[in-house]
A and B are shown apart, each in its own frame.
Chain A
Amino acid sequence: MADKHPHIVLIGGSSGSITVLQQILAALPQHFTASVIIVIHRLRNVHSDLAAVLSVKHNVFEPEDKEPIIGGRIYLAPQNYHLLIEANRTFGMDYSELVNYSRPSIDVTFFSAAASYGPNATCVVLSGANKDGADGTHAILAKGGHAYVQHPHLSEYTAMPESTLKKNPSAKACTIQEIVQNIQQTII
Chain B
Amino acid sequence: MPQELTSELLKEIVQLIFERHGYDFRHYAEASLNRRMTRFLQISGTQPADLRYHITNDKSFFFWMLESLTVNVTEMFRDPMFYKSLVDKVLPILDTYPLLKIWHAGCATGEEVYSMAIILHEAGLLERTRIYATDINMANIKKAGAGIMSLEKIKEYTANYRKAGGAADFSDYYTARYDHAIINKQLTKNVLFSQHNLVTDNAFNEFQLVCCRNVMIYFDKELQNRVLNLFYQSLAPRGYLALGTKESLLFYDGMSKFEVIDDKNKIFRLKIDG
Contact = CB atoms under 8 A, between A and B. Distances in A.
Interface in B13-46: 29-32, 34-36
A96 B216 CA distance: 13
A65 B246 CA distance: 6
A92 B78 contact: no
A111 interface: yes
B71 A92 contact: no
Contacts of B79: 45, 80
Name which of A62, A93, A97 has the most chain B CB atoms within 10 A of its CB. Answer: A93
B80 A45 contact: yes
A112 B81 CA distance: 30
Nearest to B218: A94
Contacts of B218: 94
Contact of A92 (B4, B7, B217): B217
B180 interface: no
A87 B31 CA distance: 8
Nearest to A116: B31
Interface in A42-74: 45-47, 62-67
Nearest to A103: B73
Interface string A84-112: 11110000111111000000000010011
A115 interface: yes
A105 B188 CA distance: 34
How many B residues are at the interface, by size bracket?
20 to 34
A66 B251 contact: yes
B78 A45 contact: yes
Given A45-B80, A63-B246, A96 B31 contact: no
A157 interface: no
Given A95-B214, A111-B35, A64 B250 contact: yes
Interface in B62-82: 71, 73, 77-81
Contact of B31 (A47, A62, A63, A92): A92
A92 B246 contact: no
Contact of B30 (A66, A81, A86, A95): A86
A80 B251 contact: no
Nearest to B108: A95
- Main secondary structure, interface of A, reads loop
B100 to A, nearest CB: 27
A78 interface: yes
Name which of A66, A78, A81 has the most chain B CB atoms within 10 A of its CB. Answer: A66
Given A80-B78, A93-B214, A87 B7 contact: yes
Nearest to B214: A95
Contacts of B248: 64-65
Contacts of A84: 29, 31-32, 35
Name which of B77, B80, B244 has the most chain A CB atoms within 10 A of its CB. Answer: B244
Interface in A6-55: 45-47
A95 B80 contact: no
B109 interface: no
Contacts of A116: 31
B224 interface: yes
Given A63-B246, A66-B250, A97-B73, 11 more contacts: A45-B77, A64-B246, A65-B244, A80-B245, A92-B31, A92-B32, A95-B214, A108-B35, A112-B31, A112-B35, A115-B4
Q: Nearest 5 A-B pairs (CB), nearest first?
A: A84-B31, A93-B217, A95-B214, A96-B71, A94-B32
